[in-house]
Structure 1
């Protein structure tokens, strides 16, 4: 399928456009969920063992911190290239390419561990991190053909599919060790066999299943609608077409000049897309900063590895398990309203983290709320970014969003250790409160910008 496809080619002749669109959307959603589950299994397995294997290969515990950093860096660096690939050739090719890069990265990680070169292993982990960028791209793919009122729901279903890989992946260390012994490689490195298989299957599912390509089909529908509108321009009650000159009144202040000036002022204001991306990035930074230091905080207060594992599992459940609920709320209440709800939940999480002290229960409550608030802001933010961006420009802005989101998370994760060392978990919570304030201000500005744009549009008519 190429970019010159027509809606008839994509949807088929002789059937209702809406019916065919819904049929393709349902199939695409099933394909994306299946591929996301497969990719997430290998993704979660590799992330869980990366730090341990780096420490073992390098002989230096300090190097182990590069595992998460390299994984997130790989995801961040892949965001924009994958978006450009999608813009030029469609989502299918971008998703498959990302999965294949992650598959090769898993093989590189095994090779690095076998030759005892931690930097080769780190490079492989970064390549595996591209799978995370594929997951983020998949959620936007789910919104390409979705009807506006269902975008939040469809997008959130793919986000929910990440839960399975995130929960099951860390539990593959034991089976990975068995596979490692079977193939005669380092037991820990055996876990990377799972990403090789899982990413290959995910690539195959997307390659075979995403036909026709959701993004190219959405573009074809828009192009055909625009062509039809140009061929049959609407008329007003006086019989004038939108493009025909109409009689003017003696009120020059409300003429085209004023509308143009208003449009120019609106265009010069901060882009709604930029504000939305910044909002998502702040939620990501808050989530990663608090999550990254939770294990250390718990261990400093008589925690156990089992307690840490349970706390992080509860946090992950908060991040993904209720994402369809927030997607449904976006359709019912609106994206900005759900983002506001997310900020309130994140504020509650920060307050709980601040007062938690040595209470394991309060830390767990804070982490669950942290996941829920993050889910609300990111699901609603991704839906809003899709809604406010024309189809032709969506891959570009979505790629920028994913890259910024991953970069914010990587930076927050790196700096959270410094902030924690300078103070404690409560001090870190205070700092994340500043990030929350910035995100909330961005959301308020976004709401005002949208109202200004709506006013300018209304004045034009």
Structure 2
């Protein structure tokens, strides 16, 4: 195994460990919050702070990775996450909702660094291997989809304080991550990367390739969250049992990450714009199924397609983004992309509940369909521009 492929494999393992820990926390945090908070309506506040911290960390994390190097930057992120997990254990034993909220915020900062594992894989890979490198790292979510929920269950009663064992398990996962990161051989950043800032950010974001990459990520991720968040609530409203809703979400998560084993190969074979367009088509089919009925089979098939569609749009858009910057422009371009994407995801998460509560399940889906339409127009526009410039090379 050459150095680049070894680095990608190690980063994929780090991604799997990070996502496993996140699933443990997302599974238990609201229950912990409900136990610790005097006002039960604040039970999900720690998770809200986690999401906020992740979003706000994207820009400083990118510049830390540029100034300190990938390895030192990622290790710093893991250490912050470990401190959050440790503080969380203490908060549970101390019965402190405030400290647990701070712990979740620290873990959110760690997640802000994790978002750059896929970009680090793209940086160490050759151009021919780049799309597959991004795909393999995101494929770490396959393992997390199985390990995370089981780990949350197994560790529930490890310690006298319920759920504290889960946070201990997260700390152990991060210890393993530290070891793996120490083995990754990142290419040294050039002096040019340190000293030059490249083009102004305004010039970078005006590029058609940047605009379409960001729209693909924002809409692909935003529509996925919009529909996924509302699905369990919609299922319970029509009297589907909770375990059925949980199974639908599990299949959705597998749909999100399993295609990562081959998405990179598909991009290399058929072209990045073609794969994004297929992702848009799959999302449209998902919405069509949701609009056609509310039987369990409708939800299972729709959410599976939604997961695969997210995978194609997200990996495709991330791959497309690498065409928008030079090495000296990497940090600010990646940071701007992820900040915009995560901001829209946070908005879509909030919008999902409001639409479902005020207007119903159909309104959620029609909103998703309108957003998908915007992405379709954007990708076709870029495809037409490229065809006009290089009619024999368009993909």
Instruction: Please tell me the root mean square deviation across aligned C-alpha atoms, in Å.
Output: 2.5
* Residue matched to 2:255: 318
* Residue matched to 1:193: 168
* Residue matched to 2:177: 202
Q: What SS does the aligned partner of 1:149 have? A: coil
User: Aligned runs of 1:223-262 on 2, under 5 Å?
Assistant: none
* Residue matched to 1:430: 366
2:247 is the alignment partner of 1:307: no
* Residue matched to 2:106: 127
Tell me the CA shift for residue 152 of structure 1: 0.9
Tell me the CA shift for residue 61 of structure 1: 4.1
Q: Choose the corresponding residue for 1:356, options 290, 293, 296.
A: 293
Separation in structure 2 between the aligned mates of residue 450 and residue 64 of structure 1, nearest angstrom: 50
Q: Indicate if the aligned counterparts of 2:9 and 2:136 stay in contact, CA closer than 8 A.
A: no
Stretch deviating more after TM superposition (375-384 or 438-447): 438-447
Separation in structure 2 between the aligned mates of residue 268 and residue 178 of structure 1, nearest angstrom: 49
Per-residue CA deviations over 1:187-235 (Å, capped at 9, x if unaligned) read 12321111111122212321x2123x23x35x48999xxxxxxxxxxxx
Give the count of matched residue pairs: 383
2:42 is the alignment partner of 1:63: yes
* Residue matched to 2:140: 161
Tell me the CA shift for residue 267 of structure 1: 7.9
* Residue matched to 2:200: none
* Residue matched to 2:378: 442
Q: What SS does the aligned partner of 2:159 have? A: helix
User: Aligned runs of 1:94-133 on 2, under 5 Å?
Assistant: 94-133=73-112
2:256 is the alignment partner of 1:282: no
Separation in structure 1 between the aligned mates of residue 204 and residue 29 of structure 2, nearest angstrom: 45
Tell me the CA shift for residue 344 of structure 1: 0.5
Separation in structure 2 between the aligned mates of residue 100 and residue 317 of structure 1, nearest angstrom: 29
Gaps of 5+ in 1: 1-21, 224-265, 456-461
* Residue matched to 1:404: 340
* Residue matched to 1:259: none
Separation in structure 2 between the aligned mates of residue 106 and residue 95 of structure 1, nearest angstrom: 17
Tell me the CA shift for residue 67 of structure 1: 4.4
* Residue matched to 1:82: 61
2:304 is the alignment partner of 1:368: yes
Separation in structure 2 between the aligned mates of residue 381 and residue 435 of structure 1, nearest angstrom: 16
Q: Indicate if the aligned counterparts of 1:39 and 1:198 stay in contact, CA closer than 8 A.
A: yes
Compared CA separation, residues 116 and 268, structure 1 to 2 (3 A): closer
* Residue matched to 1:54: 33
Q: Indicate if the aligned counterparts of 1:345 and 1:370 stay in contact, CA closer than 8 A.
A: yes
Per-residue CA deviations over 1:289-337 (Å, capped at 9, x if unaligned) read 1111111111112222211221111000000011122211111111111
Q: What SS does the aligned partner of 1:178 have? A: coil
Q: Choose the corresponding residue for 1:147, options 110, 115, 126.
A: 126
Q: Indicate if the aligned counterparts of 1:96 and 1:204 stay in contact, CA closer than 8 A.
A: no
Tell me the CA shift for residue 102 of structure 1: 1.3
2:93 is the alignment partner of 1:93: no
Per-residue CA deviations over 1:174-197 (Å, capped at 9, x if unaligned) read 32223222xxxx212321111111
Tell me the CA shift for residue 452 of structure 1: 7.2
Q: Indicate if the aligned counterparts of 1:83 and 1:395 stay in contact, CA closer than 8 A.
A: yes
Q: Indicate if the aligned counterparts of 1:44 and 1:167 stay in contact, CA closer than 8 A.
A: no
Separation in structure 2 between the aligned mates of residue 100 and residue 347 of structure 1, nearest angstrom: 41
Q: Which runs of 4+ in 1 moved over 6 A?
A: 220-223, 452-455
Q: Indicate if the aligned counterparts of 1:319 and 1:375 stay in contact, CA closer than 8 A.
A: yes
Separation in structure 2 between the aligned mates of residue 365 and residue 306 of structure 1, nearest angstrom: 16
Compared CA separation, residues 337 and 311, structure 1 to 2 (3 A): same
Compared CA separation, residues 372 and 268, structure 1 to 2 (3 A): closer
Q: Indicate if the aligned counterparts of 1:47 and 1:67 stay in contact, CA closer than 8 A.
A: no
